[in-house]
Every structure is written in structure tokens, then in C-alpha cells.
Structure 1
Amino acid sequence: MADQKTDQQMHNINHTNLQEFVERILIANNTPPPHAAIVSKCLVSADLRGVDTHGSNRIPSYMERIRQGALNPSAEPTVTQATPAVAQIDAHNGFGFVAAHEGMKRAIEMAQIYGIGMVSIKHSNHFGMSAWLVQQALEGGMMSLVFTNSSPALPVWGGKEKLMGVSPIACGAPGGAGRPFILDMAPSVAARGKIYKALRRGEKIPTDWALDRDGARTDDPAEALQGVMLPMGGPKGSALSIMMDVFSGVLSGSAFAGHVTNPYDPSKPADVGHFLVAIKPDLFMTIEEFKGRMDYLYKRVVESERMAGVDQIYFPGEIEIITEEKRRKEGIPFAAAEVEALRKEADLVNVEHLKL
């Protein structure tokens, strides 16, 4: 659903200026430059794709976690090889972006040799938009599965307490002449980050997104954050959130069953778990044949007969690719309050303000 309009002044920010600014903020908060480059690139990638909820607006909450000692910005992930095609990474409470980037790199390297590579990551933190990991796999010529667990936000089906996370499931496959396949979705009606975004911008939310603390539907994002998110498809969304916890939390040795810390809570480590798989697409046919079949699938999807009122059908991930193309040219929209929050972070560490 399109975001509701805000009365705040909007600024279109050049993506290069934004990435350089975010990188400076991170370095000034004791993040090693190589790690800062990874984190800033991933955050701005989300901004470019229109996933503003997982982009640079996360910087204030991440920096507060560093200031409170809940996240170690200089932690170096360590790798343990379980089998030739399976590895585990201990993030040591560092940035989830850094551990996951290393994890997908290792998964790709193993898949190039063995056809598949699997990496489990423990003691990590929020890694933003899952699609950037799918894109990393695509750039390595791989199909991928990307799972993570997250802090409690959803009730299990039939319950009323926050227990499961709004944990995204993502996967991808390279295309040929058409678009690649990139799926990145939460098991809730809407991502929780959209609630925080609405709160920042002074907007209302649709009443089918969340319940308040009393179990009533609400259009107030502040009330929604005191209540629970609603799972998509009822028990189906609930089951998907449990699946994310099994593969990301139980399997990895990280927190699970409602014990992951909210990324906006700077009181203690998050202990997030991730699960990444890279798959070589030419295992059963030539890469040319695979891409040809993907192109055929793409055409069948986007050229299928449209229902009444629909002007165009998109392949999963295609709208975000189009948004990125537009934002690279026109800039990334930020509300005045969001720009001010980033300026405050700059002032705290004597970094030059973001160029508007």
C-alpha cells in the first residue's frame, strides 16, 4: 500500500551524498571503515529500492545501541567450517550487515565448488532489508534463500501476546533478458518498520495492520507499537514466523521463542540469528537454459491477463528495481523530521551535516 501523505516538508537526497554521510557517522561511532562501507551501502540500497523502513533512518537507533553498549561496532565475525558446504559464523554482537555479508560471501564460495553453500549466523543484530543479501547472491550468479528471526511483534495464531518476530523471508534467482526474481516479504500484513516510519512522519496507518494493547484495531502508529502486528493470511503468516525462528534461532544457537531484543531497545544485545543458502543455478542444466526458462516465466507472469482495474502486472522485486532507477536520478525522499534526526546524530560526533 502506498504511504499516506505527510504534511512535513520533503527533501530529495542524492544517494551518493547519503551513503558518504552514513559512512562518516558510522566511522565516528567506532565502526571500522571496511564495516562502515558495508553497512552504509546496505542501508542506502534499501532507501534506493523504496524500502525506507530499513534504510538510513535506522541510523539513530543503531547508534544509540552502540552508545549504550548493546552493539559492538568493531566486532569481527569468526567462521567455523562444519562441513565442506556448511559453515557457521559468530557475529560477536557486531553489525548484522557485516556478519551476513561475510556469510553470503562464504555461501557463494562453497556453492561454486559444491553446488550449494549454507551458512548459519549466531549472536548477530538486525541486518536491514533482506533483499540486499539476495542481490549479493545474484551478483555472484547464485540463487538464494535468506532467513532471519527478529524481536517479538506477532502473536501466534490464536494467541494475543507478542511472541514471534515479523521476520522476513527472502529468496532470489537470476534472470536472463528479463528481471531477476527477488522476493522479500514479512509474514505480517505490513512490516513493523512501516509503523515506525508512520510515527516519524506523523501519519496514520491502515486499520488492518495492527492491534493496540487492548486488542482493538488502530490507525495510530504509537498505539500499534504498544500492541501487536497482524499476521498475513491468519495461521499461514503465523506459521511462517515460527519457521523463521526454527531455521534462524533454534538452529543457530541464537535467541528464539520471543527472546530476541528489539533493535530500538538499547538495553541489551539483540542476539539475532540468520540462515543463508546459495545455490548454483546450473546444477541440472546449462546456465543459458536456466536463464531462458526464467525469461519465459517472467513473460508469462507480466503478460498474463489482468483483473479489472489493474494496469500492469509486476514480477516479484520489479517495482523495487524501477523505484531504484528513479531514485538514482531524482534522489531519495526524506521527511524534515527524518533529516533532523540524522543531523542530531552528526552533531553528537562532530560530523558535517547531510547535504540536501
Structure 2
Amino acid sequence: MTDTTHTVRVTHNDAQEFVVALLKASGVSGANSLITARGLVQADLRGVESHGINRLPSYLARVRNGVLDPKADPVLSQITPVVAQVDGKNGFGFPAAHLGMQSAISMAQIFGIGMVSVKHSNHFGMSAWIVRQATDAGMMSLVFTNSSPALPVWGGKSQLMGVSPIACGAPGGNASRPFILDMAPSVAARGKIHTALRRGDKIPTDWALDVNGRPTDDPAEALKGVMLPMGGPKGSALAIMMDVFSGVLSGSAFAGGVTGPYDMSAPGDVGHFLVAIKPDLFMGLDEFRARMDVLYQRVVGSDKMDGVERIYFPGEIEQLKEEQRLADGIPYAQGEIDALNAEADKLGVARIRTMA
């Protein structure tokens, strides 16, 4: 069992360097290794540990089992001046998503909007890093993906839909942070269940049901059962929406056909749907940013309910945590470090450096 009593810290640069080394030793190109490493480390910086570098052992197991091609390079096809498609070629999902958003941004810079469908991809980690790719370029964005079955449709009892995040973003104003939304249609992201299992932790009983349909605080039993949708039928409908836009539209797997990142039986065949939008289509950029400032101030300055000390803009808590971890390092359980170092030993690369 993972040691949950002792944690160590790693600088973001050392974490990124370690991931690049592991991926390159596994056959991934230098460019694709760096894109993937940045996406994983950004998740850990933002406190989304369920989608950080601890995903590596499962990713690399899929490479060793021949169900993920580490050497694959995504291929872009231009469909119309504002629409493109990326074929991920069953490679890592991070380079495919990065290329897709890069293309969407380029189209939006010329035509105001760009839309990219991605097929035959794999898990791309935390959606917020792709949203950030757009906001860093001054763009609004939509980022959709589908995923392996984990959630029942409303009224059902078996896994069918993925816990597929809906994400979007917009640049901030001159005195406010960007708007970044990244949320699962379930009560909690399934990756948090895997994190709890890895760390030997219990989970809240409203996250999932076991195979007998009973609430459970055991992550192992939860992974055998089903996740619970947020808001009942509303969360279920959002999960179906992700499958329509990401799976049905792209030509990738859908309706329960996606293979998960912890399943070694078949390629993932994940689909994504990415949109970039120029924010000054209907007004000048200065006016847009001023309006974002007003929105931010009205949200965080709202009257607080009892017991609430501060109101945050969507994505702000994660941005504050990132600033803290950039300065203080990223905390990991010792058992997680041990698992990562075991991968390094298999591949003959240097173990991860920890802070003194």
C-alpha cells in the first residue's frame, strides 16, 4: 500500500525533466515528450493530482502491452478554412490535442473561429491545460472529450458513459484572472478514485456505488461499480453530450466503446472536440477585457453566505495553488515517488529528484 504518512516535494522543472526522460526512453519523440510532460506537470501544479505525473505507470504499461503507439505523430487534415481534423494515430493524447488546439487558434486568428475534431486519440490528462493553451494565446475556447464507461445513464445501473469533462475558458481582463472551467459530469472525477486507491485513502460515500448499487467509501469497490452523475439526469445528459461531440462526430469510439487508460486490452480510440474563438469579434478587445474585469469583480465581490470567507472565480483556486507550488514544489506521497522510480529503473533513466 502507498505510504500516506510521508510526502516529498519535487520542483516542477525536475518533474517535467523526469517525465520527458521516461517518455523518450519509451520511444516518444522529444517534441511529443515535452508536450505530454507539460500537460501532466501542469495538472500537479494546479492540484489536480488525479491527472498528473502519477498517470505515467498506466500510460507506459499501455505502451508495453502494445495498445498505445509511442512513436505515433498526429496528422492534421484541413476540412474547410475554419474546420480541421486530427488523427491521433493511437499515440499519446497530449500531442494530438495540442496540435488540434494549435490549429484551432491559428484559424481563429484569421477567421474569428476554428473548430477541430480529433479521432483515434488517447487520454489527454487534465482538460484545463488545453484551455490554458487557448487563453495564453488570447482566445476563448471549448474543450470536450469522451472517455471509457464509468457512469450509468439516468435510470440505468451499468457503466455506459464516460466521466468526460466539459471545459471552456476565456482570457481575463486587465485586472482579473482568466475564466477556466474544467469539470466532470459526475460528482467527482474518476481519476480521484484512482488517486485514493493509490494512496490508500477512503472516498466520500456520495461519489460512487459498488457493484451491488450501494454507496461505498472503498475506492476499489467504487471502480468496480459506477460513478454517480452530478445533478442526476443533468449530469447524465452532459456525459451523453460529450459522447456526441467527441465520439460520434469524430469517428472515434462512442456509446461505451472507449478503452480506459488503465485497461490494457485494446487501443483507447478516444475522441476530442476543440474550438477556439477570437474574443474581439463583436467589440474591441479593450472593451471585452473591461467587461471581464466587471464580471470577475462582481463574482468575487458577491455577498457571502454564512461560513464563507472568500468567493473564487472558476479556475482561480487552481491558479493560486499553481503559484504556491511553483514556489514551494509539488507534494507527492512517497509511495507515488517509489512507483515512478520503479518505471525509471525499468527504462534505465535517472530517478526523480526530490527537494531537500
Normalising by structure 2, report the TM-score.
0.98
Query: Counterpart of 2:229?
Result: 231
| Identity of matched residues, % | 68
Whether 1:120 aligns to 2:117 is yes
Q: Distance in 1 between matches of 2:237 and 2:172?
A: 30
Deviation of residue 317 (structure 1)? 0.2
Tell me by how many angstroms 1:198 deviates: 0.4
Deviation at 1:248, TM superposition (A): 0.1
Q: What is the alpha-carbon distance in structure 1 between the residues aligned to residue 313 and residue 78 of structure 2?
A: 36
- Distance (Å, rounded) in 2 between the aligned partners of 1:22 and 1:94: 16
Are 1:251 and 2:240 an aligned pair? no
- 1:192 equivalent to 2:177? Answer no
1:98 and 2:62 are equivalent in the alignment: no
Residue 139 of structure 2 is aligned to residue 142 of structure 1: yes
1:207-253, Cα deviation, whole Å (9 max, x unpaired) = 00000011000000000000000000000000000000000000000
Q: Does structure 1 retain, via aligned residues, the 8 Å contact 2:4–2:333?
A: no
Structure 2: how far apart are the matches of 1:105 and 1:40? 17
Q: How far 1:8 sits from its partner (Å)?
A: 2.6
Cα deviation per residue 1:282-338 (whole Å; 9 max; x = unaligned)? 000000000000000000000000000100000000000000000011111101110
C-alpha contact (below 8 Å) 2:140/2:279 kept by paired residues: yes
SS at match of 1:99: helix
* Equivalence map 1:311-322=2 (5 Å): 311-322=309-320
1:49 touches 1:320 (CA, 8 Å); kept in 2? yes
Q: Is the 8 A contact 2:213 2:225 kept in 1?
A: yes
One-letter amino acid of the counterpart of residue 81, structure 2: P
1:66 is aligned to 63
The one-letter amino acid of 2:275's match is: V
Amino acid at match of 1:201: R
**Consecutive aligned runs of 4 or more in structure 1 exceeding 2 Å deviation:** none
Contact 1:77–1:99 (CA under 8 A) maintained in structure 2: yes
Q: Deviations over 1:142-163 (max 9, x none)?
A: 0000000000000000000000
What is the alpha-carbon root mean square deviation over aligned residues?
0.7
Instruction: Give me the whole-angstrom Cα distance separating, in 2, the residues matched to 1:14 and 1:280.
Output: 34
Letter in 2 for 1:77: P
Report if the CA contact (8 A) 2:88-2:120 is conserved.
Answer: yes
- Gaps spanning 5+ residues in structure 1: where? 1-5
Quick check: 1:8–1:201 contact (8 Å CA) kept in 2? no
Q: Distance in 1 between matches of 2:123 and 2:347?
A: 23
Is there any run of 5+ residues in structure 2 with no aligned partner, and where?
none
TM-aligned CA deviation for residue 267 of structure 1:
1.7
User: The residue matched to 1:197 in structure 2 has which SS?
Assistant: helix
Is 1:174–2:175 an aligned residue pair?
Answer: no
Take 1:353 and 1:217, find their aligned partners in 2: how far apart are those partners? 39
C-alpha displacement of 1:140: 1.1
Structure 2 residue aligned with 1:3: none
Conserved? CA contact 1:8–1:337, under 8 Å:
no
User: TM (normalized to structure 1)?
Assistant: 0.98
Distance 2:352 2:102 in 1: 31
**Partner residue of 1:207 out of 205, 208, 211:** 205
**Cα offset, 1:13, TM superposition:** 1.1
Letter in 2 for 1:204: K
Superposition map of 1:1-356 within 5 A: 7-176=4-173, 177-356=175-354
Report the Cα offset of residue 79 of structure 1.
Answer: 1.2
